[in-house]
Each structure stands twice: as structure tokens, then as C-alpha cells.
Amino acid sequence: SIKKTDIPVIRVTTSSWEALHYLSMANKKWSDGKFAESGSLLEMALEEDPQFASAKGTYGLLLIQFLGEPERGRLLLAEALVDGEALPHREYLMIRAVNRQFVDQDLEAALAEYELICELYPESMAAFNNRGRILMSMERYEEAVALFEKAEVLDPLSSIPLFNQWIILNQRLRRPRAAEAVARRAVALGP
């Protein structure tokens, strides 16, 4: 099994340490809710390595969800899917799931992809969070909250699952005390 999947790092990620560094910093900024800064770092990563599938996928998703450039984001996601076949399995599955969700706009297929990722990689905060977002859009709020809570446990320093919980608890389920508790946890993370 190891021999079959033993791929040099240069093929599965990037040949540029700088690009990898920018992606890492961009992910941290995204987790902190600093989306414009994350976007700038992802642009720098792609300047260093224009074929960096993980950076393309991450940037595509950021453009769609938070930076108001859905067309450009979908283009980058589609490119990342094509370029990402040599990525580690987990990264490729995430890019495929995000493509199903935002490029194909097939929420049922995306949900199935995220469920698979959650089964195979139960430490993946993003998979639990994204799965929750889909369930939230399907008005399956209780299930979504449970997934956001799991995402919060997996990455207690990220404000994203907290924000998602707050939206549902405050605006959909009308549970102000639970929403306040989530908001207080988010505030405790810092500005």
C-alpha cells in the first residue's frame, strides 16, 4: 500500500516552500476571519506556484464564500480539481467535495462527499463545517448545529464553526441563550 501511494512531496503539494508557507498563513488568516488578508496570501502562493492545486482550491472557495467573486472562484475550483489528482487523498477529496458544492451546485452529492471525508478523516474540521453548511441550507438545523459543534471541538481556535452555530441558534432556531453562549466563546477567541 505504501509503495502504491508513495509520491514525492514535490508532486503532491508544491515545489515551492514559499507557496506552501503562504498557504499555511492564508489558512490561519481564514480561520481568524481575516478573509481579505487570506486572499492576498493565496494570491502570493499562486504567484510562487501557479499549479498549486491546494492553493487554487482554497482561494476559489474563499472567493465564492467571502470575497464576492463567485465566477473567478468557480474557475479556480475547477482548475484545482484537474490539477489535484496527484494530491494526497484527503486534499483531493476536499477539492472534489467543494467542486460538487460550488461548481456543480449539487448539494446532495457534496453532502455525500463530505460524509465520506468525515468517515475517513474524522479530524477534518472543514469537512464537518462544510457538511453543516449544506445541512443548514437544507433547513436541517439541529443536524447542522451538531456538526458545527464537532467542528468547534476539532479546531477550538477557529471562529468559523462558532459563527455558523450562532446564525442557526439566533436566527433559525430562536434560542437566544444558546446563541449568546456561542457568541461569548467567539468573543473569548479575541478580535
| pLDDT value of position 190 | 81
Cα three-residue angle 62-58-179, rounded to 5 degrees: 50
| pLDDT value of position 130 | 95
Convert the pLDDT of each residue in 67-114 to its tens digit.
Answer: 999 999 999 999 999 988 878 899 899 999 999 999 999 999 999 999
| pLDDT value of position 35 | 95
182 CB-near residues (< 8 Å, 6+ apart): 162, 165, 166, 169
| Stated pTM of the model | 0.84
